[in-house]
Structure 1
């Protein structure tokens, strides 16, 4: 509570170093990719990642209010030689670039903090004061593996309601159904103090820190 989301990035760097120290690891290695857990993480915006790894101007497809242009992103993927489908939404196209072109290359040599996600991909995160098209959301990567997802919590109940309505409109369009908004959540949000939060995949971190090559080797209980 009361912490800027950038402070979580510092916590992530410290946590990587702590995990490596506790296990005696000097390097994280996974599927031919290496990452130094003691090196200062790279900070890379999503827009810069799209430009560098896929040659796509992502923010050219995002309006000032955070709305997205599906046709513009579809054209950009087609020009870049990426496969698409006629019924792909903007979110589908975004995810395809992330999975095929960007995520496998992150966190090599040192950890990567991928930040400033488009608002459309950060439903519960605060908009950035620097650029309203993006939000205070980041993910942490090592060896091409996503380890954490953090963001500055959106506490503007009116803005959250607007986003929920957009989400339900899309669900109605695609699946022909919609759910009622969570009014209890929105009421609580209106009195919530500024805060930031993060979820970290401890099992994934344990896998990298111990040198395991599959997550089943570090899960404490068998998976059915």
Structure 2
């Protein structure tokens, strides 16, 4: 039997009384978006509009794309995906010669649904050529204040947690956070070449009360500690910039010049919620290909599938100048600024939810 697409016990979002309850959040969303567009315009950013259809949805092991097929006039077929981020397209634009770009992009992630997750949502991304990723930290601090002002709310809030958007965010390395909140020496399990020591992290994880399961790898334990011990403590009272991720978790970020065990990557948190993910951008096509292949091997191991690599993107990296870039979950930011408890409250027309 096919899944149902509506729960009769819950009124649809388009029911007038439900829309009336959501309308204040939606109007605030518009004010926040206008304020952030003004922020970028004042700093000479160009707003770009990347296509959603791409040859690859992205190459992170635990992100899942929506697949489709483009059929040409002659009947020839080309597999395509809805992007999970506009990152690949934006970096191609940097290679083409753009220097400061920003976009509000609809992005699509399968297997994601919950209070903070939706299969289609808005990602705000922006990039700075020849500027360090610390400049993005300053951007975040300014934008949190602008967001609160536009929403007419003096604080960010989510499920009883609060953060002052007018205070400068604290900056904490991942290693410092693991030590502070889990008593784990994280970098003791990472060597200078970026290789990880599962046994070292497993022993410390067990002492911290973290489950270690058969078949786990280092990345599984790292993620479990992060979710259970670290993230709930991030951005309480004021925003947190969680910086210097282990290089094995670098994704598309370059290694730090100060310590080869970590990468120029930070995430922004408020009220225990991850808001943004930023990189000092990697420009080495060979290294990026190696990382993508590792991620796709892990995806095949866990989910039994893999995605193609975007060869145009890898070629463009060789031309891309030094840059920093960041992706921010715009809907989550609106939630925290308005006090919404579920992401559907800040989406104009949420995607229908399939139920059994």
TM-score under structure 1 length normalisation:
0.93
> Equivalent of 2:150, from 22, 36, 41?
22
Q: Structure 1 unaligned segments of length 5 or more: list them.
A: none
CA–CA separation in structure 1 for the residues paired with 2:165 and 2:308:
44
Shift of 1:210: 1.1
Greater share of helix residues, 1 or 2? 1
CA–CA separation in structure 1 for the residues paired with 2:150 and 2:213:
47
Work out the number of aligned pairs and report it. 224
CA–CA separation in structure 1 for the residues paired with 2:302 and 2:239:
37
CA–CA separation in structure 2 for the residues paired with 1:211 and 1:193:
39
Alignment of 1:1-224 (within 5 A): 1-171=129-299, 181-224=309-352
Shift of 1:158: 2.6
Shift of 1:219: 1.1
Q: Structure 2 unaligned segments of length 5 or more: list them.
A: 1-128
Distance 1:209 1:177, change over 3 A: closer
- Cα deviations by residue, 1:66-95 (Å, 9 ceiling, x for unpaired): 111112111111122211101111111011
Q: Could you say what secondary structure the match of 1:150 adopts?
A: strand
CA–CA separation in structure 2 for the residues paired with 1:22 and 1:173:
45
CA–CA separation in structure 2 for the residues paired with 1:29 and 1:175:
35
CA–CA separation in structure 2 for the residues paired with 1:199 and 1:180:
22
Distance 1:177 1:202, change over 3 A: closer
CA–CA separation in structure 1 for the residues paired with 2:288 and 2:274:
26
Distance 1:173 1:71, change over 3 A: farther
- Cα deviations by residue, 1:104-150 (Å, 9 ceiling, x for unpaired): 11100100000100111112101001101110111111100111111
Q: Could you say what secondary structure the match of 1:162 adopts?
A: helix
TM-score under structure 2 length normalisation:
0.60
Shift of 1:165: 3.9
Greater share of strand residues, 1 or 2? 2
Shift of 1:161: 2.9
